[in-house]
Structure 1
Amino acid sequence: MALEVGQAAPAFEGVDQNGEVVKLEDFKGKKLVLFFYPKDNTPGCTAEACNLRDNYTSLLEKGYEILGVSPDGEQSHQKFIEKHSLPFRLIADTDKKVHELFGTWGEKNMYGRKYMGTLRTTFIIDEEGKIAEIFKKVKTKDHTNQILGV
């Protein structure tokens, strides 16, 4: 069942790049940009993460916290964060539990080849833990403006 705007966001729990537990309830009272991306250090994912990094201060000023999720492991996330100076945490969702809660693990098709992977999606979760917005067509190089509605 697909998630919809207005629904309560699934109560997820994952582990970040440092092995620390991250939960939805950690963000109560804040707006959360929860972005799912396929793979660390690939062109589209790097463009998306760097766009959020470059606009991090303005997002924080507007009350947003940012959290990325991909199936990569903790070490891969650490390298991605170091290489691109990312100021936000990344969940290492190697068992895809968070992906499954949000419906972001599914069939993809590239050059006629079908495979399972991350469906690039961003969820904006409001201060009460409800889904305020869902972006399924993410503009990787201009994602902050999508989020802020510019």
Structure 2
Amino acid sequence: MLGASFNTPEQNRAFAEKLGLKFPLLSDSERTTAFAYGACTDLHARHPARMSFLIDEQGRIERVYERVDPREHPARVLADVLGI
């Protein structure tokens, strides 16, 4: 699992430490990745859309989650990965 934001690496590091995140947060300050994945359509946006992508071992997008509720999302993705 990876996370991404428009913040600097330093801001992401502080955010991850504050919340105790156990996965890397990537910096997309140029918004390149967000545009490529459809999570941003405005260069002046302060934040990308909260989206999630299930990507297979070959780098193919298997599933796109456009509306993510952080309370329910991990269980949903796990169910999809396990084929439940």
- Normalised TM-score (structure 1): 0.48
User: What SS class does the counterpart of residue 99 from structure 1 fall into?
Assistant: helix
The AA in structure 1 aligned to 2:51 is T
* Matched pairs, number: 78
Moved over 3 A (4+): none
Alignment of 1:45-60 (within 5 A): none
Pick from 64, 72, 83 the counterpart of residue 142 of structure 1.
72
Q: Please show how residues 1-150 of structure 1 align to structure 2 within 5 Å.
A: 66-106=1-41, 116=45, 117-149=47-79
TM-score by length of 2: 0.82
Q: CA-to-partner distance for each residue in 1:79-136, whole Å, 9 max, x for gaps?
A: 11111111111111111111111111026xxxxxxx7341111000001111111100
The runs of 5 or more residues in structure 2 that have no matched partner are none
Gaps of 5+ in 1: 1-65, 108-114
- Identity across aligned pairs (percent)? 27
**CA distances 1:25-59 after superposition (whole Å, capped 9, x unpaired):** xxxxxxxxxxxxxxxxxxxxxxxxxxxxxxxxxxx
* Distance (whole Å) between structure 2 residues aligned to residue 105 and residue 70 of structure 1: 11
* CA-based RMSD: 1.7
Aligned partner of 2:2: which letter?
L
- Choose 1 or 2 for highest CA Rg: 1
Cα distance in 2 between the residues matched to 1:137 and 1:92: 21
Classify the secondary structure of the residue corresponding to 2:71.
helix
Could you say which structure has the greater relative contact order, defined with CA pairs below 8 angstroms and 6 or more residues apart?
1
